[in-house]
Amino acid sequence: MKEATVRVYVRTSCRNSVASATPDAMQVGIAERLDDLLSQLCQNDEPAAEAILGRLRIENESESNSFEVFRLHYRQDAEHSIQVER
């Protein structure tokens, strides 16, 4: 049986421009905060941050050199990803 797909849209604003953000900088930012996030959201069955970071790959799908669209892959299969748009 195939998993149901649920789209979630989150909008946030930043005081400073994120146009110069890179996939590497985003990976570092996620790694710095992942332990705290997991402890808040996954209190009973907390996955290891190292395992998640080992699978995490961030692709730049922007049409220019600035940050427009990144795709975050956090699982082995290509079906599960997060699209981040500026």
DSSP for 64-77, written as a single string: SSS-SEEEEE-SSS
6 within some domain: no
- Band (pLDDT 50/70/90 cuts) for residue 4 is low
Name 73's bridge partners: 57, 81
39 within some domain: yes
72 within some domain: yes
18 within some domain: no
pLDDT tens figures, 10-38: 787 888 888 888 889 888 988 888 888 88
Residue 6 corresponds to which amino acid?
A: V
Look at the alpha carbons of 83, 9, 30, 20 in this order and tell me if their dihedral is positive or negative: positive
Q: How far apart are CA 58 and CA 22, in angstroms?
A: 9
Domain limits for position 77: 23-85
17 within some domain: no
Report how many domains make up the chain: 1
pLDDT tens figures, 65-84: 788 888 888 877 777 788 88
55 within some domain: yes
Q: How far apart are CA 33 and CA 41, in angstroms?
A: 12
